């Protein structure tokens, strides 16, 4: 069934229902994947010579449940939120920048606006809780259970049903601290292991960020066994919305491209609940081979589509950059002639 005809699922209304949903997610269509691999073998090229493009087509088709994958309706969704932990100056930028950048997205002036236009994708921005900040998570959970569930629901409901591919991104000054705290908690490591420079902290600023994360980890130490509770205590509204959108996409047969570190950290709790929970997602990029995004990718056994570009912006910029590549993959699979059609001799 094409993704555009998939029924719109309803969002889970309790933590119990959310957990149950995460444990029982629909798989990819393996028959479709097999059919795509069979056609791929008949196309006028040495087998496997389009490398990862061939894998991408199989991945897209398997999750769209269609042997002729489509990229007619590609959507980029940015969730924005603010962070109480900014009381500790964990970013060199002021919190107002979150709202200002949301305006910038709406007026077409951000990097993502240009990349989405080039990629022929529709862009939408959702300011979660109208950018009210979370609670400072060094003192208390970032979100109450009700706030957490409602942010998940915002993300869940933001996924357009008529969508062949969803690219997710975020905007929230201070959110690399939340993302690093999540990673540290999920991997049972420390702030130093996961804190990075974010939007340009110097070495002293990064060490302070690591200390703030360690303070939060100590405060919540007795409650870090449940991945969803980790997401509630140490995450943020836009991270919870990202998790909700990723779940909705799974139920609606929509493949997902995750942007960078923050986005991937936001959905990492799902992988800790169920090993296959992120199979319908792909990580777009890693800025460096040894940074936090690379380590998170390794932890989640994800291979980024793009590496070495040094992208460290967020906003779904890396995710949207992969769209032209995916369009090329699908165009080759659907448009190429077979050996028989083109009268090209097959391998001896």
Ligand X SMILES: Cc1cc2ncn([C@H]3O[C@H](COP(=O)(O)O)[C@@H](O)[C@H]3O)c2cc1C
Ligand Y SMILES: O=C(O)c1cccnc1
Catalytic residue among 40, 54, 170, 315: 315
Stretch that binds ligand X, among 16-24, 37-45, 135-143, 313-321 (CB under 6 A): 313-321
- Of 57, 134, 175, 292, the residue at the interface with ligand X (CB under 6 A) is 175
CA distances from 320 to 27, 141, 236, 306 (A): 25, 32, 23, 11
81: closest CA among 99, 63, 67? 99
CA distances from 244 to 9, 12, 24, 247 (A): 12, 9, 15, 5
> Is residue 314 close enough to count as binding ligand X by CB under 6 A?
yes
152: closest CA among 234, 242, 257? 242
The alpha-carbon radius of gyration of the chain (Å, integer) is 20
The alpha helices in 9-110, defined as continuous H runs, are: 15-22, 30-40, 51-64, 96-107
> Is residue 81 close enough to count as binding ligand Y by CB under 6 A?
no
d(CA 344, CA 46): 11
> Is residue 157 close enough to count as binding ligand Y by CB under 6 A?
no
* Site track for ligand X across 61-100, x = CB under 6 A: ------------------------------x-x---x---
- Of 176, 246, 293, 307, the residue at the interface with ligand X (CB under 6 A) is 176
The residue to which tokens 């800025």 are assigned: 287
- Residue 93 CB, nearest distance to ligand X (Å)? 4
Q: What is the DSSP letter of 251?
A: H
- Residue 223 CB, nearest distance to ligand X (Å)? 24
Q: Hey, which residues between 176 and 205 contact ligand Y (CB under 6 A)?
A: 176, 198-199
Of ligand X, ligand Y, none, which one does residue 171 interact with (CB within 5 to 8 Å by kind)? Answer: ligand X
Of ligand Y, ligand X, none, which one does residue 177 interact with (CB within 5 to 8 Å by kind)? Answer: ligand X
Active site residue 315: yes
Of ligand X, ligand Y, none, which one does residue 293 interact with (CB within 5 to 8 Å by kind)? Answer: ligand Y
> Is residue 312 close enough to count as binding ligand Y by CB under 6 A?
yes
d(CA 22, CA 226): 13
Of ligand X, ligand Y, none, which one does residue 155 interact with (CB within 5 to 8 Å by kind)? Answer: none
Check: CB of residue 199 under 8 Å from CB of residue 92: yes
Work out whether the CA dihedral 283, 287, 288, 292 comes out positive or negative: negative
> Is residue 293 close enough to count as binding ligand Y by CB under 6 A?
yes
> Is residue 261 close enough to count as binding ligand Y by CB under 6 A?
yes
Coil, strand, or helix at residue 195?
A: coil
Per CB under 6 A, residues contacting ligand Y are: 176, 198-199, 259-263, 293, 312, 314
Catalytic annotation, residues: 315
């Amino acid at each position: 069934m094409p993704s555009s005809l998939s029924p719109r699922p309803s969002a889970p209304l309790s933590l119990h229902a959310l957990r149950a949903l995460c444990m029982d997610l629909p798989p990819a269509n393996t028959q479709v994947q097999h059919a795509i691999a069979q056609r791929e073998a008949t196309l006028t090229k040495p087998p496997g010579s389009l490398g990862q493009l061939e894998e991408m087509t199989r991945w897209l088709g398997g999750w769209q449940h269609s042997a002729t994958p489509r990229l007619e309706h590609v959507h980029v969704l940015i969730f924005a939120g603010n962070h109480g932990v900014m009381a500790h100056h964990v970013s060199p930028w002021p919190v107002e920048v979150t709202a200002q950048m949301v305006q910038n997205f709406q007026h077409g002036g951000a990097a993502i606006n240009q990349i989405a236009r080039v990629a022929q994708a529709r862009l939408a921005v959702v300011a979660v809780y109208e950018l009210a900040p979370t609670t400072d998570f060094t003192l208390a959970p970032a979100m109450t259970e009700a706030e957490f569930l409602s942010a998940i629901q915002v993300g869940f409901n933001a996924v357009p049903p008529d969508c062949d591919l969803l690219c997710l991104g975020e905007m929230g000054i201070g959110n690399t601290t939340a993302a690093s705290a999540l990673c540290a908690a999920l991997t049972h490591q420390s702030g130093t292991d996961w804190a990075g420079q974010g939007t340009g902290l110097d070495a002293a600023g990064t060490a302070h960020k690591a200390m703030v994360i360690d303070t939060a980890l100590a405060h919540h130490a007795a409650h870090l066994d449940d991945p969803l509770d980790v997401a509630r205590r140490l995450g943020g509204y836009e991270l919870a919305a990202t998790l909700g959108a990723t779940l909705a996409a799974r139920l609606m047969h929509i493949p997902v491209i995750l942007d960078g570190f923050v986005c991937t950290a936001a959905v990492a709790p799902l992988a800790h609940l169920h090993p296959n929970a992120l199979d319908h997602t792909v990580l777009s990029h890693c800025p460096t081979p040894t940074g936090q995004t690379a380590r998170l990718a390794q932890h989640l056994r994800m291979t980024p589509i793009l590496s070495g570009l040094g992208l460290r912006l967020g906003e779904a910029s890396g995710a949207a950059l992969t769209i032209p590549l995916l369009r090329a993959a699908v165009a080759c699979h659907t448009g190429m002639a077979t050996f028989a059609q083109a009268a090209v001799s097959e391998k001896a």
